[in-house]
Structure 1
Amino acid sequence: MIASLNNIATKARSVFGFEREEAAVLKPQIELGSGGGLLRRKRIKVAILALLFGVVSAAIELPLPAEDMYRAVRAHLRLRPMPQDIAVVKIDDKTLRAFGGQDPGRVSDSRVVDILIASGVRKVIFDRAHADRESPEADAVFADMLRRQKGKVWLGVSPDFEIGIQQVTDLKPLDQFQQEAALAAMNGLGSPFALSVSFPTYVKVDSKTHRSISATLADYTGPETTFRPDYAFNIETLPTFRYVDVLNGDVPDEALRGKSVIISYTYEKSNDFFRLPLQNGYVPGSYFHVMGAHTLKRGVPVDLLWLPAMALAVLAIAAQAFTGSRSRRILALVALGLMAAPLVLDEFNINVDIMPALLALLAAGIGFQRINRKYFSSDVDAMTTTALSSDKPDEERDVYALKIANLSEISEDWSAREVGEFVNTLISYVKGPSEVGDVAFERDILVWLAPRMDTTELDRHADGLALMLKTAISYEWQSSTSTPSLGIDTNHDLPVALRIKKAMQAADEAAGRGLRFIINDAAHLEARNNRLELIRVLEQGLRERSISVAYQPKIDLASGRIVGAETLIRWQPDGREYVNPLDLVLAAEAGDRINELTLVVMEAALIEGKQAIALDPRFKLAVNMSAKSLSDTHLLFDIMTLLGRFDFPPENLTLELTETAKLDDDRIAPQIAALKARGICLSIDDFGTGESNLEYIEKLPSSELKIDRRFVQHMATSDESRAVVRATIEIAHSLGKVVVAEGVEDHATAAALRAMGCDQAQGYLFSRAIVMPELLAMMGGGRNAIYG
């Protein structure tokens, strides 16, 4: 469909002489992509702000809780059993009850260590410092145990650290214990909301370096670093034994042999509990040390931080900004890739922080979407007029607006894609050979800017473009109602944004008046201002009923008698010059007062028309009415009310339908039937022009047909006009209609019409529009209107 329309457009350009190289010669080549340039600048601005947002959020660790939570989710997806070579000996609530609610003493600790070593345990690590003194005897027993098990026991130590503004001093075993045992650092660093923890591999205390508990359990000898334990180990599979059970010999040697053991507090009220997301809620700190040890055994974790992910986000956002694509698919694909990559990298102990990059992508996506909503049409791949608007004048370009009448009607059976193809094809037409830049689409109007032309060339250009598009649309879509109408603004000293509005208004006006184009220049502005003033004055005339009428007689060509008259408006507002009736009707239509004007005219005509009927009961009074008004039940009710009020016979009233609209409204048929039932006659006015053609004869059961004056006045000089008049008379008579010729100005034309069988005529040959007393005088005098 679209391809064939392109072919039609190419042919139409040739038929109408619409090759634009001539226009290009008139003005030098200028940059027309103002809309594209504006959008590019705004996209770049969005990209920069989004990336800055991502970098700043990374610097202040704004998305760290989300990062930690996503790590926990990934870990949960990879959940695996805990290796069995490290165990925890728990000082739990049952152990405390066995010791009367007190912590086990150093004598018990010594016995437990001896039992563990005797059972084949490789190493024993206390997750506490033994920094406080007990009794000299107990301390001596413990020191002796450390001496006997030297190289197999580690005691906890913690360096100085700060919590906010609070300074916490170091925590270390008694000197007599430090001389006999190795030390292992207990400290770790928690993240906001306690969603993750990180451990150092080495810690310095008193200028001495000690491995952390995790590094000690893992026999780690690598470089100094800080790492996060891998939460993918299922703590429910961690080997654990109660302190009191080990002390009482209730744990078999086979369960302990070959393991490394960490002794720690796990009773309910201990403060050594931390959150483990998505597993068991809060768990003892020693469990994290075990997970850290297993993490180090797999290899030293590599933390790439947020830089690699942000680099990908930079590339994606830059591509989106510079390609100008409305789709955010690039951003979405990169975001999905960033979320999927850590699932693979986690298996290789590689960490990448992705949340700052995702925040940057999200911010960019929102920013680009706001640009799309503001500067692009929702249904069509085209800009909105906002993209072309500017507060500055543009002396080098004219502003065009193209309205496609009834676009919603012809496209009601189309899919959104087909509508988009149709509009985009129209855009390709108006762009021509590249002198037109960006084209915007809003509602049913296309808007663009093109090189400035002089008045003569602009008229030819606009007419050719409108005809080309009408031919193409009519051929492809078989739609004669979808007439394109152009509005062109040439007020180059005004801001472009205002000129776009004026061009769109001109396009709407052209469509409403059935014109191919309107150039919104100084002359048009003056005419529009005059029309607005006329609308204002009309309001006063309608209120005061000061609008008067005159009558142009209708003559029976066979006898020369006056058989009727057409009511015409004659109005001098405030005693000034007479208003052109056509201008008055257009003003009334523009101000949505046409029905009220019709009733005012009809009221005056019915009051005076009764005098003519008194002289000739067959006299028919004609009043003009818009065909569109036939769908207004209120207007027809008011007409019936007027007929009853003034006791005017309905059969003596003829409604001349002057509107050039098509009779497509389903409400019109019953209204016409109601008029016919009451005896009111209908006449098709200006036959042969606009929409008043054979289709009207078919759809409108009229009793009269009036031939337009343009054909009648050219009968003497145009064989075509004479043929049209003759054919019209024959067709109307074959359908039983009375034929009236308008605009008869000489005896030769009247004689020719009578020879063709035309029934009636009106025009300056017989009389201009006159007031009712003059018409009554002509009727009462018995004068032959043709021969005097």
Structure 2
Amino acid sequence: MVRLRLLAGLTRSARSLVLIAACLVGIAAALAGAGRDFDNQVREKRYEHLPKPPSGDLVVVTIDTQSIKTLGTWPWPRSRHGELIDAIDGDGARRIAFDIIFDQPAADLRQDKLFARALSRSHSDIYLATLLENRLNTRDVHQALPTAALLPFVTPVSIWVKSDPDQFHRRIPLNMPVLGETLPVLAQALAGTTFPDEGRLLIDWSYWPERIPHISYADVLAGNFPKGFFKGKSVLVGYDAFGIGDQYSVPYHNKVAGMYIQAVAAETLLAGRPTDLGDWPALFAALLLVCAAVPLTALFRSFVLALGILAFPLGQIIIEHLSLVRLDIGAGTIAIGAGLVAHILLATAQSMLDRITKSAEAGLPNMAAMELNEREEGVTVVVCLRNYVETTALLGFAAQGKLLGKIRDRLILAAGHERIYQIDNHSFAWRSEEQVPEVVGSLEGLEALFGPGVQVDQLTVDIALNAGFCDEPSLSVGEALPKAVLAATNAINRGVLWERYETDDDEVFWKLSILNEFEQALKRGDVWVAYQPKLDLHAGAITGAEALIRWSHPERGFIRPDRFVRAIEDAGRIERLTLYVLERAIADFAPLGLSVAVNLSMRMLGKNRLEAPLRVLLDTYGMPADKLTLEITESANMADDQGIAELEALRALGVHISIDDYGTGQSTLSYLKRLPASELKIDQNFVRQVLTSRSDAVLINSTIKLAHELDMQVVAEGVEDQNVLDALARMECDIIQGYHIGRPMALEDFLRKLGLPAPRRNSRDAA
């Protein structure tokens, strides 16, 4: 269960965890530079598939294999470089730069003089490379400027480059310190830019080196180029012979000569200096995307995050191709990927949790889910389906899920919330935070909810059920469920709708102490009277109520009337209870001018113990006798002559006599003829089937007509919805009673329902 709770906790926090995972992983990736490889791979795709044309402002003069074959073994005399400068300068070049280091005097000093003379007469800006190297990766750095003979006529520039950890050259510093002086990089000289900072330029390798205009060194000396070929351009002279070396690894293009790093960097600067935003803007956008995806359903969240992983590289390619913005999306993409992975893992965990916590038949929450979710104290309720096996055999396995789902939907109405659990294939349970009387009221409404049957695939299925509950709040769900199941089983065995869990010791003690406890309950006020409203269809208003005894035990909670009324009757103390209910009902309703009905035990009739105290009560509280109805059960034994005489005396007094639960007993027309009744009360078992059972509808309709012929009113109890009420109205029923009109409630709630002020209790009422 601990692991299950941990799994549930993770799935409940799934949305937050997705965002947290994206944030933590994305920030860590940005700080550690973990997204660099991804950025590099995406940019290589851009370099490959979206090449850019060179500016045309740069020409490369290559010291290639052809030139070496033509001019002889390298190195050449420096006077030859002077000849090259004369040829290029004579054609109108703007700048001439050598990616060749002249840090040592020539062996023949005349060569330096000839070279210097050519430099001095050139109209072009001349740039010579400086030496800056650390071959042994130590602190000792070798630095050198062009030789003193050449330096007065040139501008020294840096050609130093540093590779990334994977030995690829992607960036170049704009300026470098050499011998205490900050020199621009050769690429800046070629592009004519003067950025003073030491920032590193991300080289745009979509300028393919082979597409930059180039010409062989030997062809320049031989004059094999069109006039104006160099006019107004920057010219880079450097090695491009594999035998000389000077080869470097670069993105997409593999190995290139070192001078092409400077050339492509110059083309990059000629288009404008790129703005490098780094990881954080894309990471911020990625986290915003994850935030936007978090509230979505699981499927759409997966789609959005997966789309983000694809869109970010595409966005980087488009942005960098069309603008000077350089955006690192590696950390952001990793953040989205982390969110997606977290989502997938948590979705898998949710799937595992669903398999553990849902029933196989209908996919409803099961007992494991109930133990997992219901942690608060409350009353544990179990409802068992008695005819589940027969029903599923009739419907077939495929329809079981539909049936169970519809049963659960109706139980939600009874429970007042959606936390209903299928604890086995024929039982449901829930945990209620209400008090026992409210729970019992919900259970008593089950017959009304399931009376019309459940519609499944054009078939109406009758559902027979019983309930049990355990109201020991300190027990966990796992401890209380077996006790509630046992109570439901006892309800089935006893043939009652619901049963409260009690131990055997509790039951024995209860039977021995019930009478004494009842007397104490009367004194404490634990026994009270609830009122269920009655709607007069002719007046269109609530004109009265039925008084119902209730016992709220301080330890046992709500005690069902059938558990104590029978015991009180058997002990000969029903008179005490009846007079208590009569006095309470008369005292409460006399000031209201409304009618009230009280159930009367047949055991009180024929002993002349009812008429006299009833007269006293009516006189004391000033209630007209015709506002009081005494209900006698039709299924009770036939009253003897003395009992009927007493009923006639009460009727003569003006009190109404009602035959309760009509239709459930074995009465005959002579029974109706002998009793001085003014009202028939049709049992709820017939009323609930009035829309679904033709025979019940016929019986109710004929009963109403018969009662009217005998000058009797008809009350229909158990009315639970408007359709049943409308059907009874069409049959000209007089009074309606049931949960659709109102549940049994305390006097204060009854008055509130009618919009009347709460009563003032005097000392006599309180007694």
After TM superposition, the score normalised by the length of structure 2 is: 0.52
Cross-structure match for 1:264? 238
Cross-structure match for 2:339? 364
User: Which residue of 214, 218, 228 corresponds with 1:240?
Assistant: 214
Following the alignment from structure 1 to structure 2, what is the Cα–Cα distance between the partners of residues 236 and 228?
A: 19
User: Which residue of 305, 314, 319 corresponds with 1:340?
Assistant: 314
Cross-structure match for 2:118? 145
Cross-structure match for 1:295? 268
Tell me how far 1:362 sits from its aligned partner: 0.9
Cross-structure match for 2:101? 129
Tell me how far 1:63 sits from its aligned partner: 1.6
SS at match of 1:193: coil
Following the alignment from structure 1 to structure 2, what is the Cα–Cα distance between the partners of residues 158 and 443?
A: 85
Does the 8 A contact of 1:121 with 1:261 survive in 2?
A: yes
Tell me how far 1:443 sits from its aligned partner: 12
- In the alignment, does 2:44 pair up with 1:72? yes
SS at match of 2:455: helix
Aligned-CA RMSD value: 5.4
Structure 1 residues 563-712: aligned runs within 5 Å: none
Tell me how far 1:381 sits from its aligned partner: 11
Q: Summarize the Cα distance change of 1:163–1:230 in structure 2 as closer, same or farther, 3 Å threshold.
A: farther
Does the 8 A contact of 1:91 with 1:243 survive in 2?
A: yes
Tell me how far 1:454 sits from its aligned partner: 6.3
Following the alignment from structure 1 to structure 2, what is the Cα–Cα distance between the partners of residues 107 and 447?
A: 103
User: Which residue of 172, 178, 181 corresponds with 2:145?
Assistant: 172
SS at match of 1:179: helix
| One-letter code aligned to 2:377 | E
Listed as ranges, the gaps of 5+ residues in structure 2 are 505-663, 669-767
| One-letter code aligned to 2:175 | Y
Cross-structure match for 2:455? 474
Q: Summarize the Cα distance change of 1:93–1:454 in structure 2 as closer, same or farther, 3 Å threshold.
A: same
SS at match of 2:182: strand
Cross-structure match for 2:259? 286
| One-letter code aligned to 1:299 | G
Cross-structure match for 1:374? 349
Following the alignment from structure 1 to structure 2, what is the Cα–Cα distance between the partners of residues 519 and 103?
A: 109
Structure 1 residues 9-408: aligned runs within 5 Å: 39=11, 41-98=13-70, 100-135=72-107, 136-149=109-122, 152-157=125-130, 159=132, 168-194=141-167, 197-222=170-195, 224=197, 225-278=199-252, 280-321=253-294, 327-328=300-301, 329-346=303-320, 347-376=322-351, 377=354, 390=372, 393-396=375-378, 398=380
Tell me how far 1:301 sits from its aligned partner: 0.6
Following the alignment from structure 1 to structure 2, what is the Cα–Cα distance between the partners of residues 318 and 81?
A: 40
SS at match of 1:230: coil
Structure 1 residues 737-776: aligned runs within 5 Å: none
| One-letter code aligned to 1:190 | S
Does the 8 A contact of 1:143 with 1:180 survive in 2?
A: yes
Higher RCO (CA < 8 A, seq sep 6+): 1
SS at match of 2:166: helix
Does the 8 A contact of 1:96 with 1:103 survive in 2?
A: no
SS at match of 1:83: coil
Following the alignment from structure 1 to structure 2, what is the Cα–Cα distance between the partners of residues 163 and 444?
A: 79
Tell me how far 1:412 sits from its aligned partner: 6.1
Cross-structure match for 1:451? 432
Structure 1 residues 522-533: aligned runs within 5 Å: none
Deviations 1:218-274 (CA, angstroms, capped at 9, x unpaired): 111345332212222233322122223323333343433333211122222455333
| One-letter code aligned to 1:250 | N
Does the 8 A contact of 2:378 with 2:471 survive in 1?
A: no
Does the 8 A contact of 2:79 with 2:115 survive in 1?
A: yes
Q: Summarize the Cα distance change of 1:369–1:483 in structure 2 as closer, same or farther, 3 Å threshold.
A: farther
Q: Summarize the Cα distance change of 1:156–1:486 in structure 2 as closer, same or farther, 3 Å threshold.
A: farther
Following the alignment from structure 1 to structure 2, what is the Cα–Cα distance between the partners of residues 310 and 74?
A: 21
Deviations 1:462-488 (CA, angstroms, capped at 9, x unpaired): 686698589785246647599999998
Tell me how far 1:363 sits from its aligned partner: 0.8
Does the 8 A contact of 2:366 with 2:421 survive in 1?
A: yes
Following the alignment from structure 2 to structure 1, what is the Cα–Cα distance between the partners of residues 420 and 427?
A: 7
Cross-structure match for 1:646? none
| 153-162 vs 337-346, which moves further | 153-162
Following the alignment from structure 1 to structure 2, what is the Cα–Cα distance between the partners of residues 389 and 327?
A: 31
Following the alignment from structure 2 to structure 1, what is the Cα–Cα distance between the partners of residues 139 and 426?
A: 68
Tell me how far 1:357 sits from its aligned partner: 1.0
Does the 8 A contact of 2:380 with 2:484 survive in 1?
A: no
Does the 8 A contact of 1:158 with 1:170 survive in 2?
A: yes
Deviations 1:110-150 (CA, angstroms, capped at 9, x unpaired): 22222222233221111132223331232333233322227
SS at match of 1:255: coil
Q: Summarize the Cα distance change of 1:282–1:453 in structure 2 as closer, same or farther, 3 Å threshold.
A: same
Following the alignment from structure 1 to structure 2, what is the Cα–Cα distance between the partners of residues 336 and 446?
A: 49
Does the 8 A contact of 2:161 with 2:169 survive in 1?
A: no
Q: Summarize the Cα distance change of 1:458–1:353 in structure 2 as closer, same or farther, 3 Å threshold.
A: same
| One-letter code aligned to 1:76 | E
Does the 8 A contact of 1:276 with 1:283 survive in 2?
A: yes
SS at match of 2:101: coil
SS at match of 2:241: coil
Q: Summarize the Cα distance change of 1:381–1:474 in structure 2 as closer, same or farther, 3 Å threshold.
A: closer
Q: Summarize the Cα distance change of 1:362–1:478 in structure 2 as closer, same or farther, 3 Å threshold.
A: farther
SS at match of 1:176: coil
Deviations 1:64-91 (CA, angstroms, capped at 9, x unpaired): 0110111121333322322322121122
Does the 8 A contact of 2:126 with 2:153 survive in 1?
A: no
Tell me how far 1:350 sits from its aligned partner: 0.5
Does the 8 A contact of 1:273 with 1:282 survive in 2?
A: yes
Does the 8 A contact of 2:380 with 2:481 survive in 1?
A: no
Following the alignment from structure 1 to structure 2, what is the Cα–Cα distance between the partners of residues 244 and 516?
A: 114
Following the alignment from structure 1 to structure 2, what is the Cα–Cα distance between the partners of residues 463 and 217?
A: 94
After TM superposition, the score normalised by the length of structure 1 is: 0.51
Deviations 1:630-655 (CA, angstroms, capped at 9, x unpaired): xxxxxxxxxxxxxxxxxxxxxxxxxx
Listed as ranges, the gaps of 5+ residues in structure 1 are 1-32, 525-714, 720-788
Following the alignment from structure 1 to structure 2, what is the Cα–Cα distance between the partners of residues 300 and 443?
A: 72
Tell me how far 1:182 sits from its aligned partner: 0.5
Q: Summarize the Cα distance change of 1:186–1:476 in structure 2 as closer, same or farther, 3 Å threshold.
A: same
Q: Summarize the Cα distance change of 1:368–1:252 in structure 2 as closer, same or farther, 3 Å threshold.
A: same
Does the 8 A contact of 1:397 with 1:452 survive in 2?
A: yes
Tell me how far 1:300 sits from its aligned partner: 1.7
| 160-169 vs 294-303, which moves further | 160-169
Deviations 1:586-627 (CA, angstroms, capped at 9, x unpaired): xxxxxxxxxxxxxxxxxxxxxxxxxxxxxxxxxxxxxxxxxx
Tell me how far 1:342 sits from its aligned partner: 2.2
Following the alignment from structure 1 to structure 2, what is the Cα–Cα distance between the partners of residues 68 and 150?
A: 41
